[in-house]
Amino acid sequence: MSASTERVCVLCGRAESSSLSIYGPMMDTHGICGHTYCLLLADGLFEHGTETGLARWDFPIENIQSVIEEAAQKRCFVCSESGASITCRESGCDRSFHLPCAMEGECITQFFPPFRSFCREHRPELAVEVAPGDNTSCLICMEPVGDRLSYSTMVCPACRNAWFHRSCIQENAIHAGIMSFMCPACRERDVFVVEMLVMGILVPLSLPSWITDDPPELEERHSRCDARECLCPGGREQVEEEG
C-alpha cells in the first residue's frame, strides 16, 4: 500500500505501517480507521463497545465521533499537540495524552478491561521495596538497569531478583503471549503476569511467536553482535571459526 493511500489512525495520527504492537491492529469502524487500543483506551468509548470476536470490537459511530470531537479540544501534556483522547483516571486530574506519547511521558495504560490510564504523577507503582545491586544488568538485553526502581526499570514482584527494562519486558511479552509470559529468572507466572498487566505491560492473548512465526533454519548461526556498544576490536561482524 502506497503512502498516499495508507490508512491513518483517526486518534493518534500514526500510519498503519508505523504501528507498534502495543497499538493493536488497525480497525475500520463505520468507515473510520483507528488502532484497537487507541479506541479502547479513549475516554468513555470502551463502555459503549461490543466485543464481536477475538481482538475484534465494534463501537457506535456516534460515540466515535464524540470522542474525536472531544479529543480535538484537548492538548497532550507530553507533546502539546491537540487530539489527546486518553485522560488520567485519577479523580480531579485532567492530564490527557496520545497513546504513542504514553511511554515518553512515563504514563501507564492498562491493556485490559476497563482499560484505564494514568499520568506519571498518579500511575501505580510496583509495591516492591528493593534496589538493584551494583552492576545489575537487564536479564533480557544485558545492559545496565540503573541504581533504582523506576518507570523504565522494573523487577519481578515474585523473586525480586530479576531486573529488566520496561521496553525489554514489553517486547518479551509481545513475543511470548499470555501462555508463555513469565519471569525470565524464577519462571513464576501468576503474580508476575498480574503485576505486569497492572503496570501497563501489554500481554497479548496469543500463542508465542516462536510457534506462530516461521522457524529459522536449524543450520543458521547468528553472527553479529547486538550489544548497544560492541567492544570487539574487529567490529560487530567479526566471528570466530569455532566456538
Closest listed residue to residue 199, CA positions, set 128, 144, 145, 135: 128
pLDDT tens-digit map of 138-194: 999 999 998 888 999 999 999 999 999 999 999 999 999 999 999 999 999 999 999
Cell reading at 34: 483507528
Query: Of how many residues is the chain composed?
Result: 243
pLDDT tens-digit map of 18-29: 556 788 888 887
CA distance to 12, 37, 99, 106, 225, per residue, from 84 (Å) = 8, 14, 8, 15, 40
**pTM reported for the whole predicted model:** 0.78
Cα(103)–Cα(123) distance, integer angstroms: 12
What domains sit in the chain, N to C, each tagged with a CATH number? 16-118 (3.30.40.10), 124-214 (3.30.40)
Cα(1)–Cα(162) distance, integer angstroms: 42
CB 146 within 8 A of CB 182: no
7-16, 152-161, 177-186, 213-222: range with lowest mean pLDDT: 213-222
For residue 24, list its beta bridge partners. none
Q: Which amino acid is at 23?
A: Y
